[in-house]
Amino acid sequence: MTQTVSDDRPDARGTAHLDKTKLSVLLISILIVALCGIVYELIIGTVSSYLLGNSVYQFSLTIGFFMFAMGVGSHLSRYVETRLLETFIYVEMALALVGGLCSVSLFMLFPFAPWLYTAAMFGFIFIIGGLVGIEIPLLMRILSEHHGARKSIADVLSLDYIGALFGSVAFPLLLLPSLGLIASSFAIGLINVFVAFLNAVWLREHLVSAKRMIWMTVAIFAGLVVLTLSATRITSYAQHHLYFDQVVWEKQSPYQSLTVTNAWPNNDLRLFIDGHLQFSEQDEHRYHEALVHPTLGWSGVPARVLVLGGGDGMAVREILKHEGVEAIDLVDLDPQMTWLGQSFAPVVALNEGALNGPKVTVYNQDAFVFIQQTEAIYDRVIIDFPDPHNEAISKLYSQEFYALVKARLSDDGVIVTQSSSPFFARRTYWSIGETLDSMFPDVLSYQITIPSFGVWGYHMAFANAGGTLENVPDGLAALSVPVFEAAQVFPCDISKPEGIEANSIFDPSLYEAYTTDLKVAPQKGLAGCRSS
């Protein structure tokens, strides 16, 4: 005898009889899922750009492999035949854990070995991308049972794209400057697990193991809350793990990561931007004396000076040693950088309060925009930008930029730019010189040794040819007229190689040269140098 039993439990997929309110919860989940997925992608790309440089390369890899992983995840979703809703909630929990921990894990692994970091980076990309790829088809299949395939596809894809927009805007404008990378990943993990919790509670009658899933989401949520509240300490620990010295100040601005360290026994204050050393107290005087005094001491009167970059104030400190200077305009994009030079006591002590003097005016603007818009004429221009390790900085070493600078020079005007290392970045250094040479009638190249950086190079360019170094202030620690004359001599292994091209915004050869220099050992520059 066969007995028929009425079964009011959830059906095999757990999505029977979803009303409009419950379907709305799923639609909202799609929006949030897309937001979280794009933010995880941006976090991994940003961490890799900070630690490895070459942001175009890092973001291209991250985006490309993330999309591939999403495709793999979408393919794998076809093998999920039952309990679609439960699978979606479990995926959200997994995303919360993996995505929430991705940023701090990458920072902690970086100091050990490049291959370990690379393996972890691709691991996070594939896992997070795969999980995100699984979610969307699952939700689409659930909704299609109630709305039909045409409407469900339209709803899911439109909300997915809108969520991606929200995430891509929120990350640079809100999450990164206010929370930083590590806390941002924790916060997005919290959002993921909250979506899992909301679905587990709101749709619990459609789940086979609702209570267990609710408790799991609560446990993960609690763990991520603790991590988020401890984000400052975790970030500090990660920074100590990343830097050898004591971190005394750090700030994630909308533009870059700023970190100041100090080696207490040696009293060596250091500034890092995006993990790259900018100066060391022990030898920064060598860098800034060589940057400033040959240009300020050249023939002519340097009454008005423009400094592009240099928000730490060290270059301005050296400029103020020339009595003929009447006004200094300093342009630095990042307000946090100039705050550091104006208000952070250890840096202010090092730059001798230079940025707070009456002769100095600070502009927090993009240098390219400033030089286009200003009508001022300058006798000297000091260019102190970071190395061209991404395309945004590379444009500040271009023919187009130098043409704008040249238009703002007086008749006897002189500019100088730091130009990276002619030893470690030989083609980069000479590419900058070639670019200047294509725009100015006369260019002078020179190099000095800085212990923190090795051999370092500069280029001076003149509005009109001629002149000499006439005025070097007394009491300089590293620079003198004889030292400057010797600095213009380039040994064979750092002399100008063949095939160097000028850099243009439309043909960014400098960025390619810098990327190549990072991959080629300096010793290879010896080829063809030795005499027979």
* 361 pLDDT above the threshold of 70: yes
Q: What is the pLDDT of residue 389?
A: 76
Tokens standing for residue 5: 């039993």
Q: Fold identical between 20-238 and 282-526?
A: no
Q: What is the pLDDT of residue 162?
A: 93
Mean pLDDT of the region 517-525: 65
* 230 pLDDT above the threshold of 50: yes
Model confidence at 532, pLDDT cuts 50, 70, 90, reads: very low
Catalytic-role residue among 384, 387, 437, 517: 384
Model confidence at 10, pLDDT cuts 50, 70, 90, reads: very low
Rounded CA-CA distance 46/55 in Å is 8
CATH topology classification for 20-238: Growth Hormone; Chain: A; (1.20.1250)
* 89 pLDDT above the threshold of 70: yes
Q: What is the pLDDT of residue 17?
A: 61
Model confidence at 182, pLDDT cuts 50, 70, 90, reads: confident
Of 130, 63, 71, 74, nearest to 99 (Cα)?
Answer: 130
Tokens standing for residue 415: 């500019």
Mean pLDDT of the region 208-231: 90
Mean pLDDT of the region 441-460: 95
Q: What is the pLDDT of residue 242?
A: 67
> Is 384 an active-site residue?
yes
Was domain 282-526 assigned CATH 3.40.50.80?
A: no
Annotate 360-416 with DSSP letters as a single string: EEEE-S-HHHHHHH----EEEEEEEPPP--SHHHHGGGSHHHHHHHHHTEEEEEEEE
Annotate 203-255 with DSSP letters as a single string: TGGG-TTHHHHHHHHHHHHHHHHHHHHTHHHHHHHHHHHHSSSEEEEEEE-SS
Q: What is the pLDDT of residue 530?
A: 47
Q: How is the chain split into domains, by residue range? A: 20-238, 245-278, 282-526
In the chain, what percentage of residues exceed pLDDT 90?
58
* 9 pLDDT above the threshold of 50: no
Please tell me the pTM assigned to this model. 0.71
Mean pLDDT of the region 155-176: 89
Q: Which helix (H) or strand (E) holds 269?
A: strand 268-273
- The one-letter amino acid code at 13 reads R
Q: What is the pLDDT of residue 283?
A: 94
Distance of CA 520 to the CA centre of its chain: 23
Lowest pLDDT segment from 6-10, 283-287, 321-325, 420-424: 6-10
Rounded CA-CA distance 99/508 in Å is 35
* 527 pLDDT above the threshold of 60: no
* 11 pLDDT above the threshold of 50: no
Tokens standing for residue 298: 């050249």
Torsions phi, psi for 400 (to 5 deg): -65, -40
Mean pLDDT of the region 491-512: 90
Q: Could you tell me which residue, 316 or 29, shows the higher pLDDT?
A: 316
Mean pLDDT of the region 124-143: 91
**Mean pLDDT, rounded, of the chain:** 88
Model confidence at 68, pLDDT cuts 50, 70, 90, reads: very high
* 332 pLDDT above the threshold of 80: yes
Q: pLDDT per residue over 33-48, tens digit each? A: 899 999 999 999 988 8
Mean pLDDT of the region 341-363: 96
